[in-house]
Structure 1
């Protein structure tokens, strides 16, 4: 339902909002990166894409919208691809991005980003885009820059090899289905999802512990990497092994490797209702540094 605290813009405000936004192009790259680097932890997901391929929509997998302040300076971004992600977006920028998104129509599978901006964005879009399949209004954003000392890292957690992708896939599918509520194999039969899993493995960003039968006991991936921070995703423990603190020892291994070899800060975000996971991450050294919100379609 539309938040009564969010006013729908009138015709003048709509025209002004649209005039202040545009699709960014190659000459805007430096300015866009400056905005992304203002908060390396919160912006890791978008920054890793832009740093890798620039602003070309075909390579980026979506458009990058920019919002300009009254002086004409680029001051906020919104990635519009498979996800709609506001970046450094204050109230005016959010309203502008919402109007552009409303006119374009929903093309994304989720809206995700800093909680305040995402909540306002969804409040403005819900009437035309709703209903959502699920709304996760508060997802603590956690980070650490300190190697783990309070938990013994699992020595059996290691990078997954390319020859192990087939053995890894069932765990990835199970994790995604538990977390998102739908199977990643729907639609295209899982081709895009399998390609993403293979990409993470091939770049050394997939970690797992296998048992003697070659089945995954614990897994996690580093989904985003920038010079300032990386973001862990897809943390999963096989159901029959839960309750053994494998998420703690496994994450300790991943965090220590990431800090030593990948980025100076390791982050993740977690559902607020997942009390056990939040406690495990705190024991590994993560601390809350903000909050995300996700709207799933």
Structure 2
């Protein structure tokens, strides 16, 4: 049973001045996020902190995607303040900010009971793969396919592909990703059918989002980044896919953890022609 909520702890908007303390909280959990990663996530969304006597003892971030969808992440409560209802207060406050949007999050085992009480229901899992690939086979492209660098003129096309794949209008997120990430596009008959972004994150680099029409297209895109950055520590967060999991394991990026995908509200029906094969991050979706 939760302790009585600590009312000496106040909630307020997160500002850039809070990021050093937020980063310290995530480091205590041994999460890999750098201070720059926190800065990126706050710029892409909205945040709240729980504060007591000038010290940040809890955090939460949310990302509204269009008028109907949002994600939530970076839900942290300092160890000495856990059990006092602070996590519930942070969730209630961010949900109020996000309004009637469907909210998607990726839950650790520790967070599952709270999210279930708040009306979130499971709909899948995310597998965290990480490591260094030293030898990556060259993928076989289909006729009239090529992988090419992402250009500024591709922005609208990749936002549209992402929207079809995940059901969210994430133009605001991609505006920030353009500043932080490199990208490649999978073309077929001179038409963009997939893409993959690559950026600094945590202990090394993250590959994602990866959007493609099928798992072979996803492997082609991921292979580009692993092959051109051989030996570099990389992370890929994938929706549960046994074929992609086995392939990444064989390349030297084993699955090191799993979290539960949960949603509160209706999800958009999936597009059968294009799919998300890797996330921007577990928090961002």
Unaligned 5+ runs, structure 1? 1-6, 127-131, 177-182, 185-189
**Contact map agreement 1:110 1:294 (CA 8 A) in 2:** no
Q: TM-score, normalised by structure 2?
A: 0.67
**Partner residue in 2 for 1:194:** 171
Q: Deviations over 1:88-143 (max 9, x none)?
A: 546926841213433665444435245123313303322xxxxx4x5236322221
Aligned CA RMSD, in angstroms, stands at 3.7
2:113 is matched with 120
Q: Which has the higher helix share?
A: 1
Distance 1:217 1:62, change over 3 A: closer
Distance 1:36 1:80, change over 3 A: same
Contact 1:98 1:124 (C-alpha < 8 Å) held by counterparts: no
Worse overlay, 195-204 or 228-237:
195-204
Q: For the structure 1 residues 125 and 250, does the alpha-carbon distance in structure 2 shift closer, same or farther, using more than 3 Å as the test?
A: same
Is 1:149 paired with 2:135? yes
Q: CA deviation at 1:258?
A: 5.6
Alignment of 1:1-297 (within 5 A): 7=1, 9=2, 13-16=3-6, 18-20=7-9, 22-23=11-12, 24-37=14-27, 39-41=30-32, 43=33, 48=36, 50-52=38-40, 59=43, 61-66=45-50, 74=56, 76-82=58-64, 83-89=71-77, 92=82, 95-102=85-92, 105-108=95-98, 109-126=102-119, 132=120, 135-136=122-123, 138-144=125-131, 146-152=132-138, 156-176=146-166, 183-184=167-168, 190=169, 193-201=170-178, 203-211=180-188, 213-222=189-198, 225-226=200-201, 228-238=203-213, 242=214, 245-257=216-228, 265-272=233-240, 274-296=241-263, 297=265
- 1:164–1:140 Cα change, 3 Å: closer
Q: Distance in 1 between matches of 2:137 and 2:193?
A: 18
Note the residue ranges of structure 2 that are not aligned, 5 or more in a row.
Answer: 65-70, 266-285
Secondary structure of the residue aligned to 1:19 is coil
- The TM-score, its normalising length taken from structure 1, stands at 0.65
